[in-house]
Amino acid sequence: RHGIRIAIDGPSGAGKSTIAKRVAARLGFDYIDTGAMYRSIGLKMARSGFFGEDGMHGGAVDPSREIDPDRLSSVLAETEIDFREGKVYLDGEDVESEIRNSEISKAASACAQIGIVREKLVDIQREIGSRKNVVMDGRDIGTNVFRDAEYKFFLTAAPEERAKRRFLELKEKGQDVVYEDILKDVEERDYRDTHRELNPLRKAEDAVEIDSTHMTIEEVVDEICSRVTI
Ligand code: C5P
């Protein structure tokens, strides 16, 4: 037995987390942000110096650095990720505000290519879905984590629109950002996410695709909720 699982996958900046959060609130489900889990591991790896000395102090992350698998394995064994009230905790610490920047985006996308990282996080995700009704967003929820999810959605939007949304979001937070840099980041991340060997981003055959380029958040939430019966 398990809860009702709603999987929402798609590329970065398609609005998954905003939409998944609202769908969860409307249906009374738990919202699980799997990207935040990869970001938290990325943060821990950056702090541990896996992406270069600089990454340790919140400086530049070099995602192409060679990773020592034995050292990573022992760091992961001592790493705890959990969710409380929709927020991710890394070893008991609320890291929400530290994981939303472009260096940690890079670190997350790099660590998401590593098998032992994915195994650990997928186990946690399945465990959460086994006891609760969840809306889970990510890249591989419908294709891997919950292949038998009750509902699957694939949310997309044009890269320029996604970059624009991310730009406005970071700007709102007072970060000093340049649109062209963000578009480049979006395109690079799309490339890495769709071309990686392990559970690459793709639409599950039985997922409903929603292109949100010309839709408002409310319209997308309505569209998803109208398809779910609880
Ligand atoms: O969704 P978000 O941008 O927060 O995710 C950060 C990174 O984590 C993504 O670029 C992707 O590489 C990775 N990720 C993943 N599988 C998931 C969720 C996120 O590989 N289910």
pLDDT tens figures, 109-150 = 899 999 999 999 999 999 999 999 999 999 999 999 999 999
User: How much is the mean pLDDT over the chain?
Assistant: 94
- In this predicted structure, what is the pLDDT of residue 1? 66
Strands 87-90 and 93-94: antiparallel
Dump the DSSP string for 152-195.
EEEEE--HHHHHHHHHHHHHHTT----HHHHHHHHHHHHHHHHH
- Characterize the bridge pairing of strands 134-138 and 151-156: unpaired
**Which span out of 51-60, 112-121, 182-191 was modeled with the highest average pLDDT?**
112-121
Does residue 164 have a pLDDT over 70?
Answer: yes
ipTM: 0.98
pLDDT at 13: 86
Ligand 1 site-directed mutation target among 5, 8, 12, most atoms within 8 Å of CB: 12
User: Residue 216 C-alpha to ligand 1 middle, in angstroms?
Assistant: 23
Q: Is 42 annotated as a binding residue?
A: no
Judge if the beta carbon of residue 23 lies within 6 A of ligand 1. Answer: no
How many Å apart are CA 207 and CA 219, to the nearest integer?
18
Which residues, at least 6 apart from 6, have a Cβ–Cβ distance to it below 8 Å? Answer: 20, 23, 27, 29, 134, 135, 136, 149, 150, 151, 152, 153, 224, 228
Query: 109 alpha carbon to ligand 1 midpoint, in Å?
Result: 6
Region 36-51: what's the mean pLDDT? 96
In the chain, the amino acid numbered 73 is: S
pLDDT at 29 over 90: yes
Check pLDDT > 80 for residue 217: yes
Name, of 50-54, 86-90, 154-158, 192-196, the range with top average pLDDT: 154-158
Tokens 């879905």 belong to 129
Residue from 32, 34, 155 to probe ligand 1 pocket by mutation (most atoms less than 8 Å from CB) = 34
Residue with CA closest to ligand 1 atom 10:
109
Atom number in ligand 1 closest to CA 140: 21
Measured in residues, the chain has a length of: 230
> Ligand 1 mean position to 34 CA, how many Å?
7
Residue 2 confidence class, pLDDT cut points 50, 70, 90: confident
Predicted local confidence at residue 12, as pLDDT? 87
pLDDT in tens, 171-186: 998 989 999 999 998 9
Q: Which residue has the higher pLDDT, 175 or 54?
A: 175
- Is 13 annotated as a binding-site member? yes
What digits encode the pLDDT tens for the residues 153-162? Answer: 999 999 999 9
Counting residues of the chain whose pLDDT is more than 90, the rounded percentage is 82
Neighbours of 68 (CB within 10 A): 11
